[in-house]
Structure 1
Amino acid sequence: MDSMEEWLAKLPDLAVTYGMRVLVALLIFIIGRWLSKVIAKAVEALMTKRGVDRAAIGFVGGLTSAGIMAFTLIAVLAHLGVQTASLVAVLGAAGLAVGLALQGSLSNFAAGVLLVVFRPIKAGDYVEAAGAAGVVEEVSIFSTTLITPDNKKIIAPNAAVINSVIVNYSAKDTRRVDLVIGVSYDADLKQTREVLTKVVTASDYVLTTPAPTIEVSELADSSVNFVVRPWVNSADYWNAYFQLMANIKVALDEAGIGIPYPQMDLHVQNLPERPPQS
């Protein structure tokens, strides 16, 4: 009877102590849930501003919210006096098992997050990556889709893309067109330079700044090689390339400047006499 009375006497103190723990734990849960929503929305807003694919936005936002809530629940249980060490160990072991089972997919996902955050490529860029070249159609959670110039669709794992050398031809507004024009050794170099300069400056695609470079680069086996290096807008690269190649050929022909081509002269010595015919 005395023990019951003692227990009842302690009940108000116990109620206050544990009631405060429950209230604080509830407060931690409410704050954690609010933070998970706020941070997830902030991440989604940032990704939306950067033009990330919707599927990736939803997935990353949900993953962010779930991660914060997991930490919140562990904090709540720890505050209530529950031993969370074993729970964390079990979750860690489960996470390790899942990670090993989905190693390839997780590496692609992690690479996709890096591509989304740092944006070395984006939709519409012409790139070389993962051994392929084409226009980026989409950067999704696990893969990157490229469309080749001959309209083939290439789907490359994000891990292969992020681990390869990425050449982004669309990253800058301007590009340099590099042409090598070979002329005959009999050609007048001053005249040749004037003809090439006239063709380059007459093109609507060529920019005046930076100025184009037109110089002799090599005395080759059968030709004197000029480098012709004008700057153009990146979007005009191939139009400028094809136009300049055709116009240079026409202009050199009109100026009488020869363009050598591979040939072989055969000299026969000590040709045996033809036997007399009977």
Structure 2
Amino acid sequence: MPIDLNSDLGEGFGRWELGDDEALLSIVTSANVACGFHAGDPVVLRRTCEEAARRGVAIGAHVGYRDLAGFGRRFVDMPPEELTDDIVYQLGALGAFARIAGERVRYVKPHGALYNAIVHHEEQAAAVVEAVRLYDPELPVLGLPGSVWLDLAGRAGLRTVREAFADRAYTPEGTLVSRRSPGAVLHDPEEVAERCLRIARGESIAAVDGSRVLVEADSLCVHGDSPGAVRIARAVSDRLGAEGVRIAAFA
């Protein structure tokens, strides 16, 4: 079975640049494009969509809380109907820029604190599901295996896609180690590539406490804002290719 390789892109804002989007778009098969709430602005959104379309990379909406100052990594307690409207707004914004690039939004992936919240937060997970259902019920949704988000999305008839993180440490329960904890982010390209190969083969990986955990995934994420992101993504792509694992977009 092929596996997708995705990255969070379009996360610059104004004069602030983050990551090497052009290089990553030459490696990954899916681009999670920031939609202006946690990062990104109209210029960045258009440029990222055009480059993704030019390279044949699937464009996904990387939706999050309205939190530019915190890069979307702070939980926001808000009424579910407001969260739904915020997600629809972001989908519409990215959809416009994807369209003028000759493409369309092909999937949805929540960002940062929202991604982590809806692993367990049923009310917010339902609000995001409702936004996708209203905007385009044919859009696949990307998330953590076993999350409330994917469970509710599946019940609503949305296509669900399981995601693993190439450069993040896991708890024994299969959730992500908090970024505030030591060792939460992995930086060694060869170590990350080996973990990704094991995930692609359906084998267990080492959890943060040394135990083994099985992380089932249809897509692997390399964070575009991590130091050495390009080297890590290239190492993962090269290792999977060398071992006969085909990399292809799920959308």
Give the alignment's TM-score, normalised by structure 1. 0.18
Is the helix fraction higher in 1 or 2? 1
Give the alignment's TM-score, normalised by structure 2. 0.20
If asked which structure has higher relative contact order (CA below 8 Å, sep 6+), I would say: 2
Rg larger for: 1
